[in-house]
A and B are shown apart, each in its own frame.
Chain A
Amino acid sequence: MEKKQFDNKLVQWVDHRLPVFSYMNAEYNEFPMPKNLNYFWNFGALATVVLVTMIVTGILLAMQYTPHTTLAFGSIERIMRDVNYGWLIRYIHANGASMFFIVVYIHIFRGLYYGSYKAPRELLWMLGVVILLLMMATAFMGYVLPWGQMSYWGAQVITDFFTAIPIIGDPLTEWLRGDFVIDNATLNRFFSLHYLLPFVIVGVVALHVIALHVHGSNNPDGIDIKEPQDTIPFNPYFTAKDSVGLGVFLIIFAFFVFFAPNYLGHPDNYIEANPLATPAHIVPEWYFLPFYAILRSITFDIFFLEAKLLGVIAMGAAVMILLIVPWLDTSKVRSARYRPIYRIFFWVLLVDCVILGIVGVKSPSDLVFSGISWFDYKTLGLAGTIYYFGHFLFLMPVLGFIETPKPLPTSISKPVISLPSGGGSAPIGAAAAKKEKA
């Protein structure tokens, strides 16, 4: 790097003492990116945009919100009716949570498809899982704040998980709630933590980005950068490409905010919390449904372990298992593009998660097909749960040994393998050529 890379004297002066300008230049301007990234590499940037949006709207909402059981619901209605553009800020915040999860879930499945978790990016991936966990905690506590029926009863169900822990379960739950039941103490601490955790997320995101910038982005071919022609600078190429993705994303986001603001919510949350009236069905927000299905799928004791505890363990393990994915996957090849069998099971896993999501909203005893009496949603949920864990614990390790990967391109800029006869690698070359146009 040249010594004098900035013309402005003041910038030079600052940069000599605090190299923020060199840092920004190296990490966001000149930073080398694989040139074959497709639009699935937009979702990290999109998640950052949503995180900032959530923090800004959240701070504005906190200025008008009252965290007290008798006033919270009414203060939300005041925001919706009397605060200038309060309805807009609240609808952005409420739908922003859903947008955040859809973006992050696509981001995670992108990582699973292209093997972005493999060496040397294991810690990058694990930090991402930590962000997901923090997001889940934040979203759950945020949903409690409006103090509607689903807020209250959702909090009741979730905090009740902790009673499943042997011996210390009950005192632990009391300690977490700050009371024997969900009440003002609970609402107050949830508000405090809901304000705190997003900034913890910002910190972990910073670590996530630092880890990313050590070895740079993975790419759809899943091969390392080998020569300078493989990369292009982040700016202007990926600032431009991310902007297109952002433009599409904002249209989808705005559609929900302006034309279907309550579509992703539950009508019961427009009823003020009532500890004496339990809703007919307590369902979590859509982004928790697959995990909720896993929780409810365990309905039997194993030895001295109760079903309830096992369900909680299974649900926790469903997220935690992502932490060890880098070591469960034994294949040397990163990208599913060159893994013919893994690629199929990737899509099966995605369908399995969708099925678990559907199971999450259904009553466990309802029949999947009205004609088949033994096949209820509880059974489907258990099958989906077994498959989910089977994918990670069985398929991932085994496929690495039995699968014959397709030949990898020699480098990103030379995707066609130059064999003397030519013919054999045509499909790969054709696929890569098509992607480059995108």
Chain B
Amino acid sequence: MFRRALKWGFVLAFISFSTNSMAAGPLKHEAQDWSWQGVFGTYDRAQLQRGLQVYKEVCSGCHALKYVAFRNLTDLGYSKEGIRAFAKTFDVKNSEPNEEGESFTRPGRVTDYFPSPFPNEQAARASNNGAYPPNLSLMVEARPHGADYLYALLTGYKDPPKGMKIGEGMNYNSAYPGHQIAMSAPLDDGAVEYTDGTKATVEQMATDVTAFLAWTAEPNLEERKSMGIKVMLFLFAFLAILIAMKRRTWADVH
């Protein structure tokens, strides 16, 4: 029994060793408590709504959110009417030209995706000092330590250590690889006025927008976990039956 456990230990150690070290980077970050962590974790709707507000009022000036549609916002607890009104506040370029063959913009509809702030990468670079603000839809999945890293980045704007030379148009950030980032500190205390009265500190806004981006990266997380619990319960019961069946079948083998 012990030897068998040892063998399996090897296998699992191999998997975890190789992947842990894969994910490890040179980044400075602390693990935060996120509501969606763990087997039973779910998103905090109020937090996601605050995060959406931060995205819209701060981030969306430069960053796209191209895989998220307005209709998806029902997940955040908004009504269809609310979303319709929200979509109308965006100008969206129609995918088809009008009858004269000219492209035109119109108020957003629920089926539209969040419009990108720049028509193309060149335009984005031209207005951002040569840097390209990435699409944020998958940011939490696309970085090692996802949410923790994002929070550390948003709260990591500090004075550079003595003697460190910061490049032209660059900013010191304790979490960013290389510690020089083109994006200037996006959040200041009170940068947004939360509709639910929460005090908009930098930490609060960083937490909220990170949670929102965790949802945009994996909107099906809650469905996945709740299905997973049911599947696991079934599989454990099923395994018990299979073990019982095997024992009875093998009872006469000597």
What residues of chain A have their CB less than 8 Å away from a CB belonging to chain B?
35, 74, 77, 80-81, 87-88, 91, 102, 106, 232, 236-237, 240-241, 243-244, 246-248, 250-251, 254-255, 257-259, 261-264, 266-268, 270-271, 280, 283, 286, 289, 350-351, 354, 357-358, 360-362, 436
Contacts and interface: CB of A to CB of B under 8 A. Distances in A.
Given A259-B228, A280-B25, 18 more contacts: A74-B67, A81-B67, A87-B223, A91-B224, A106-B11, A237-B250, A240-B242, A240-B245, A243-B242, A250-B235, A251-B236, A254-B235, A262-B141, A264-B15, A271-B134, A357-B17, A358-B18, A361-B21
A258 B242 contact: no
Contacts, number: 114
B22 A241 contact: no
A53 to B, nearest CB: 14
A247 B232 contact: no
Contacts of B142: 267-268, 270-271
Interface residues of B, number: 47
Nearest to B241: A247
A361 B18 contact: yes
Contacts of B225: 258-259
A358 B19 CA distance: 9
A409 to B, nearest CB: 15
B232 A254 contact: yes
Contact of A80 (B220, B243, B246): B220
Contacts of A267: 23, 141-144, 146
B15 A258 contact: no
B243 A244 contact: yes
B66 to A, nearest CB: 8
B13 interface: yes
Contacts of B117: none
Given A244-B243, A354-B14, A361 B22 contact: yes
A246 B243 CA distance: 11
B11 A357 contact: no
Contacts of A362: 21
A232 B249 CA distance: 11
Contacts of A264: 15, 19
B177 interface: yes
Contacts of A236: 249
A417 B245 CA distance: 33
Interface string B113-150: 00000000000000000000010011001111010000
Contacts of A354: 10, 13-14, 17
Interface in B207-227: 217, 219-220, 223-225, 227
Given A241-B246, A258-B227, A35 B253 contact: yes
B85 interface: no
Nearest to A235: B249
Contacts of A289: 18
A287 to B, nearest CB: 9
B246 A244 contact: yes
Nearest to A283: B22
B231 interface: yes
Please indicate which of the listed interface residues B25, B239, B243 has the most CB atoms of chain A within 10 Å of its own CB: B239
Given A247-B242, A259-B39, A358-B21, A241 B250 contact: yes
Given A251-B239, A270-B141, A361-B22, A258 B228 contact: yes
